[in-house]
């Protein structure tokens, strides 16, 4: 059974149509980034905010730059002198 609308009810007004012929402009995602405490990592992650003002076509350049910055930060960890591990028993050569 369907309910009949009362005579005094206002007619339904359709939602205004949105113009889909033009693509929407860039909009920030609103993702918050918490500091990591590592300057190089924080700088790379801060670069992600640059993508907020770009069209989608500009995102890969930013992402590749951030990715390279994070790789560099990880690579720098290998370059730091640290404590030497225990000696290897079979590493003696005469």
For 19-29, what is each residue's pLDDT tens digit?
667 666 777 77
pLDDT of 2 > 60? The answer is no
CA distance 77 to 80: 6
Average pLDDT over residues 15-20: 64
- Paired tokens of 58: 């500009």
Residue 80: the pLDDT is: 65
Question: By C-alpha distance, which of 73, 87, 75, 5 is closest to 36?
Answer: 73
Q: What is the pLDDT of residue 61?
A: 94
pLDDT digits (tens, 9 = 90+) for 36-76: 999 999 999 999 888 888 888 989 999 999 999 999 999 98
**DSSP assignment string, 38-85:** -HHHHHHHHGGGGGGGS-GGGHHHHHHHHHHHHHHHHHHHHHS-----
């Amino acid at each position: 059974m369907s309910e009949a609308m009362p005579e005094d009810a206002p007619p339904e007004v359709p939602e205004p149509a949105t113009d889909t012929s033009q693509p929407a402009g860039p909009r920030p995602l609103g993702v918050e980034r918490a500091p990591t405490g590592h300057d190089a990592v924080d700088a790379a992650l801060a670069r992600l905010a640059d993508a907020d003002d770009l069209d989608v076509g500009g995102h890969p350049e930013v992402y590749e730059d951030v990715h390279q910055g994070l790789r560099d930060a990880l690579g720098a960890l290998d370059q730091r002198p640290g404590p030497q591990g225990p000696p290897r028993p079979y590493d003696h050569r005469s």
